[in-house]
Amino acid sequence: MTGDVFPAWIDRWRLTPDGAPFTSLGGRLLPVRRDGVAAMLKVSHAPEEIAGGVLMAWWDGQGAAPVLAHEGEALLMVRAMGTGSLADMARSGRDDEASRIICAALDGLHAPRPGRLPSSLNPLPDWFRALGPAANGHGGVLAKSHAMSKRLLADPREVCVLHGDAHHGNFLDFGELGWLAIDPKGLIGDRGYDYANLLCNPDLATAVAPGRIARQVQVVAQAGDLEPARILQWLLAYAGLSASWFLSDGDNPAGALQIAEIAAAELGL
């Protein structure tokens, strides 16, 4: 069974199912082929995911998976067929290499393009709206994160289109095409924001290992042509935002708070 969401798109785009459907946080997905090309059909009715599909098409394969078709809630993109995993790489002694690969892909995503920007892009200040109430309610390092976010958002640098969720699981091995992004949030704002989440990944144990954040800040600063202090500032802001999301969902924010504390300590706050 392919599921009720897929048949209309299979017919419209002349697709052949090529695997079992599955569900992710972003929607329903089905491996398919079109004219022999391995592809992935994604269908989601969530506004955030629909906006992400618009952005994927706008990127046109530069830093992101090439889009073969896009309409409304449906996105057809080339399927990643490589066997590499940035998460496995980071956990097995190649952490620096994984970070550099993500930075290289972000270079492609951040590059200016001719024409109009997608109208669905979410301004970064709006993205941070949950942090203020959480900081007011809980204080501590969340107050430091909130203060830093206000400082950064008031003085944006190198404003560009952002992926918004740049971590190891959202950059896949596309073989000869290289490592390319999937599942963007579709934000616009300070370029430095996009480097914070990779420092929190591929998992909490890796992220908070002694000295790991300090080292990866230097790696990312060099690969992304950013100031190390600016990366730490965005990490403090982002980790607080992540903790606020955990709190709003009724989940445990301890991991995000731990990362925020490390970032604050590195900044001498």
Which positions are catalytic?
165
Other C-beta atoms closer than 10 Å to the C-beta of 187 total 22
Evaluate whether 7 touches 21 at the Cβ level (below 8 Å). no
Find all residues with CB under 8 Å of 176, minimum gap 6, and list them.
none
Evaluate whether 80 touches 65 at the Cβ level (below 8 Å). yes
Among the listed residues 175, 167, 162, the one whose alpha carbon sits nearest the alpha carbon of residue 242: 167
Other C-beta atoms closer than 10 Å to the C-beta of 249 total 9
CA distances from 35 to 39, 60, 78 (A): 10, 20, 12
Phi first, then psi: give them for residue 184, nearest 5 degrees: -75, 155
Evaluate whether 238 touches 193 at the Cβ level (below 8 Å). yes
